[in-house]
């Protein structure tokens, strides 16, 4: 099966998405999500999660993906740039006004803070964020959670001070990668 312009095969369940096709799919989804006048790059992380979820659905997801992928042409340079943004994650430390700290991971810390603040009676503040690539954010987050297990309150919230939370994330990074975090 081919795309509308019959130049590039549409991926099937048996054919993995190559980087240019994946880049185009992410860009197209991000463009569809972007508000008027906004840059699609601002939506790349969310678009990548949508694309990943569609792929995990197997055939049904692929059928929906085919409606989006390869319908728009973007340069290889733009696709690589968007893929890099989509692969970037952050480990964050958020403080509430009661002195608890949340250690989590996200593709966009500002959006995560806004979502957490909805319906939360406490004032929330991002006290630190650490940039990671690929699945690094989730690994560092999980390692930090293990290190703070004795101070666990609920979910990803811990009863510790800001310095302890930040230093724990840095220690988790050090333990996982054998070197200090350099940003």
Q: Please say whether the dihedral angle defined by the alpha carbons of residues 141, 132, 41 and 93, taken in this order, is positive or negative.
A: positive
Which range has the worst mean pLDDT, 16-25, 37-46, 62-71, 163-172? 62-71
DSSP-derived secondary structure for 81-133: HHHHHHHEEEEEEEEETTS-EEEEEES-HHHHHHHHHTT-SS-EEEEEEEEEE
Q: Using DSSP, state whether 135 is helix, strand or coil.
A: coil
Tell me the pTM: 0.60
Tell me the per-residue pLDDT of 70-94, one tens digit each, with 9 for 90 and over: 444 555 565 566 666 666 789 999 9
Tell me the per-residue pLDDT of 84-134, one tens digit each, with 9 for 90 and over: 666 678 999 999 999 999 999 988 888 889 889 888 889 999 999 999 876
Residue 110 pLDDT: 87
Residue 7 pLDDT: 44
What is the Cα–Cα distance from 60 to 13, expressed in whole angstroms? 10
Residue 107 pLDDT: 81
């Amino acid at each position: 099966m081919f795309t509308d312009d019959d130049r590039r095969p549409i991926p099937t369940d048996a054919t993995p998405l190559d980087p240019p096709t994946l880049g185009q799919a992410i860009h197209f989804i991000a463009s569809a999500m972007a508000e008027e006048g906004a840059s699609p790059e601002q939506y790349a992380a969310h678009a990548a999660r949508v694309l990943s979820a569609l792929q995990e659905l197997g055939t049904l997801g692929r059928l929906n993906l085919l409606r989006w992928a390869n319908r728009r042409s973007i340069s290889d340079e733009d696709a690589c740039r968007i893929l890099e943004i989509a692969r970037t994650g952050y480990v964050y430390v958020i403080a509430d006004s009661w002195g608890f700290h949340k250690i989590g991971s996200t593709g966009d810390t500002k959006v995560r803070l806004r979502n957490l603040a909805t319906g939360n009676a406490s004032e929330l503040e991002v006290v630190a964020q650490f940039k990671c690539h690929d699945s690094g954010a989730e690994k560092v987050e999980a390692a930090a959670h293990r290190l703070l297990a004795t101070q666990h309150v609920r979910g990803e919230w811990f009863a510790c001070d800001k310095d302890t939370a930040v230093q724990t994330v840095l220690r988790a990074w050090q333990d996982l990668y054998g070197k200090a975090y350099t940003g």
